[in-house]
Amino acid sequence: MKKSMVILLSLVLVISLGLFLVDIYVGLMGLIIFAALFMSVKIAETSKMHPDIGVRLTDDAKGIELRNRGNAPAYNIHVAVVPMNIEFDVPSLKEEERHLYSFGTMVEEAKVVVTFENERGFRNSVTFIVSAMAKDDDDLLKPVFPLFGWKENK
């Protein structure tokens, strides 16, 4: 944890403990605010350095596009396209960087297995089924979690 965050959290804790001198309920509200800030800082720390590789077919279905949608660069990326017996490596993808790979022929449907590692060296593997007739997943308004009755229209 950064030194500035430790100072901020300790300052909030001291103020909330000082609020107990005013009233016990005000002090408890201060402790609840401290707990919420502490949890949000811990959650923010665990979400650092996570690359998120996404794969989709290009518009003409003659290649695939790799995109790092995470908040850290991905290294040593190995891609395997299962039915076509194609394997290739990409040295690295920075945040929001894209890499195009062309097949030369059109692909109707394929299974793509991507293995990569983050800055710390932890390996991760993700499998995608890409199809030329499937809808694009780049809906910016779609929530990450299914909120408020959000449903897929299929």
- DSSP characters over 89-107: EEEEE-TT-EEEEE-SS--
DSSP structure class, residue 119:
T
The predicted model gives 66-76 an average pLDDT of: 90
pLDDT above 50: residue 65: yes
Among 9-18, 20-29, 45-54, 76-85, which is the least confidently predicted range? Answer: 45-54
Residues 55 and 64: beta-carbon distance below 8 Å: yes
Determine the Cα–Cα distance for residues 21 and 38; give it in Å rounded to an integer.
Answer: 22
Show the CA angle centred on residue 73, arms to residues 70 and 2, nearest 5°. Answer: 85
Determine the Cα–Cα distance for residues 114 and 126; give it in Å rounded to an integer.
Answer: 5
* Residue for token pair 């650092």: 48
Among 59-73, 85-99, 131-145, which is the least confidently predicted range? Answer: 131-145
Give residue-wise pLDDT tens across range 107-127: 889 999 999 998 888 898 999
The predicted model gives 2-9 an average pLDDT of: 88
